[in-house]
Amino acid sequence: MKKIEVIQENCFKCNSNIFINTIDQKSIPMIESEGNVMHPICEGCYDKIKERSKPLTFDEYQSLAQATAIYPGQGEPLGKLYTILGLCGEAGEVAEVASNFLDESIERHSLLLVSYSCRISALLSKAIRDNDGNVNETQIQEICWLLEEIGKISKINKNISKILKNKTIIKKLSNIDSEEMKKEFGDCLWFGAQMMKEFGLSMSSSAVKNINKLKSRKNRGVLNGEGGDR
């Protein structure tokens, strides 16, 4: 078997640092994403990442994700707000996927409550991206509808403690399409990468700090409980 040597280069279109193997050297000038939006990154760059001999690190992903970051206010407070709202919105998509596998029940209402709340964040982030922060009439109507539904669900969903006790309901979540969840989590990851960039942070630094924090809590026996500084 021929040995694959991994080398680091810059993509000639996106100028991102990429790790590629010496066998796959082809590149195609541009790729087209959903909505027929052209992004300044070559398809060969993605091909090389797929065929590379080692997994992506957090920082490599963050660098590649930056090539598709097209939104206003980058490096400004508006960019911070956009990425925060976007991350909340994508987290709601995860809850919505899960809710589709549950019947009309307390459990489904709980996930919809999260989904609807986060969808408001998504609508606001889209207003920033597409319309200079101006919320159009359609978006206002949808936000009003979501607020009404949240109110209805909140009145119904008083016995939320029953969720984890109902093993039949929980078992239904095992039917969730893992590929669909991978897609939604990828969107969360993208917004997380951009948010970290807006605050001048690397994903790896956050990951290391998080692990160190959790190790400390475990060693002190305070993994359970409340408070970020415990």
pLDDT tens digits for range 118-129: 999 999 999 999
**Closest listed residue to residue 125, CA positions, set 44, 56, 194, 61:** 194
Choice among 5-14, 98-107, 188-197 with the minimum mean pLDDT: 5-14
For the segment 109-115, the average pLDDT, to the nearest whole number, is 82
- Could you tell me the residue ranges of all domains in the chain? 6-66, 77-201
Which of 6-10, 30-34, 136-140, 168-172 tops mean pLDDT? 136-140
Contacts of 4 (CB under 8 A, 6+ apart): 21, 22, 23, 53
Write down the pTM of the prediction: 0.68
* Residue 44, pLDDT score: 61
Stretch among 37-41, 90-94, 144-148 having the lowest mean pLDDT: 37-41
* % of residues, the chain, pLDDT over 70: 64
Instruction: Please tell me the distance from the alpha carbon of residue 225 to that of residue 221, in angstroms, as a whole number.
Output: 10
Residue 25 contacts residue 35 (beta carbons within 8 Å): no
**Cα 43 from Cα 11, distance rounded (Å):** 10
The percent of the chain in helix, strand and coil, each rounded to the nearest 5, is 65, 5, 30
- Cα(130)–Cα(118) distance, integer angstroms: 18
The more confidently predicted of residues 148 and 40 is 148
Q: Which of 57, 36, 35 is nearest to 208 (CA)?
A: 57
- Yes or no: say if 167 and 56 are a contact pair by the CB < 8 Å rule: no
Residue 122: φ, ψ to 5°: -65, -40
pLDDT score at 226 = 72
pLDDT at 27 (0 to 100): 36
Look at residues 65, 38, 36 and name the one whose alpha carbon lies nearest to residue 49.
Answer: 65
pLDDT at 74: 92
Length of the chain: 230
Looking at 100-136, list the stretches that DSSP marks H as alpha helix, in order from N- to C-terminal side: 106-131
